[in-house]
Amino acid sequence: MLDHKTRYLQIAFNYDAGMVQQLLPAITQSVLSLPRGRERIFIEAGTPYIKREGAAGIRLIRSLWPGQVVADLKTVDGALGEVDMARMAGATAATVLGSSPTAALDLFVARCAQLGMVSMIDMLGVKDPLKVLMRLATPPMVVVLHRGRDEENAYGKVIEYRHVSRIRSKFNVLISAAGGVDLKEARSAIFNGANIVVANLVRPGDPWAGILTDGDVGAVARQFLATIA
């Protein structure tokens, strides 16, 4: 389903449906004309967006984007129901927190596989992602190394690329880098072995890094694709 030799860009919507309706058509128009543009872009229904808009928000993204749609559920429990909900709404990928019970992680990964979805384990707040993976019956397709939104401006908090080689020594998974990713961080992520970079759409004045919503977001998406190619 995913190619280990391809570098992907995941664009995250974290605000509301209005922003999706405003910006996603421009992104779609800009990147679909590129070779493999549809294949290399994931559109994410971010956690705050899903909490605000629910399954209808995922369906809206699905209606406007023909490629991969990530539901950033950050599931902790009730894995089967949450994966089913996301799939019914049109998502092709979903996330579960690595700090969840092992039983929930195993159910999540297995259900994603049954439904043909990309399983992503988000290691936000996890000190040793490899230990989490070693306990699983089956590894996920993607491991997300995530510096949290509230950590972006905290001194010394970085995306923990040191885990990439440790994870890859044991598991054939894709690595995603998330949390304050701008063009500079995207280059660093790819240099350090990431397959996917996650860039948040950010309103001017908000204290996070990503793709500013007051510019040509389609053009910036193309810049990201060129940077990580």
CATH (domain of 59): 3.20.20.70
The pLDDT assigned to 170 comes to: 97
Domain count, the chain: 1
Three-state secondary structure string covering the chain? CCCCCCCEEEEEECCCHHHHHHHHHHHHHHHCCCCCHHHHEEEEECHHHHHHHHHHHHHHHHHHCCCEEEEEEEECCCHHHHHHHHHHCCCCEEEEECCCCHHHHHHHHHHHHHCCCEEEEECCCCCCHHHHHHCCCCCCCEEEEECCHHHCCCCCCCCCCCHHHHHHCCCCCEEEEECCCCHHHHHHHHHCCCCEEEEEEECCCCCCCCEECCCCHHHHHHHHHHHHC
Whether 2 is in a domain gets the answer no
Its pTM stands at 0.96
Whether 91 is in a domain gets the answer yes
Whether 95 is in a domain gets the answer yes
In this predicted structure, the answer to whether residue 62 has a pLDDT above a threshold of 80 is: yes
Whether 191 is in a domain gets the answer yes
Indicate the pLDDT class of residue 156, thresholds 50, 70 and 90.
Answer: low
Indicate the pLDDT class of residue 1, thresholds 50, 70 and 90.
Answer: confident
The pLDDT assigned to 33 comes to: 85
Indicate the pLDDT class of residue 148, thresholds 50, 70 and 90.
Answer: confident
Domain that holds residue 96: 8-228
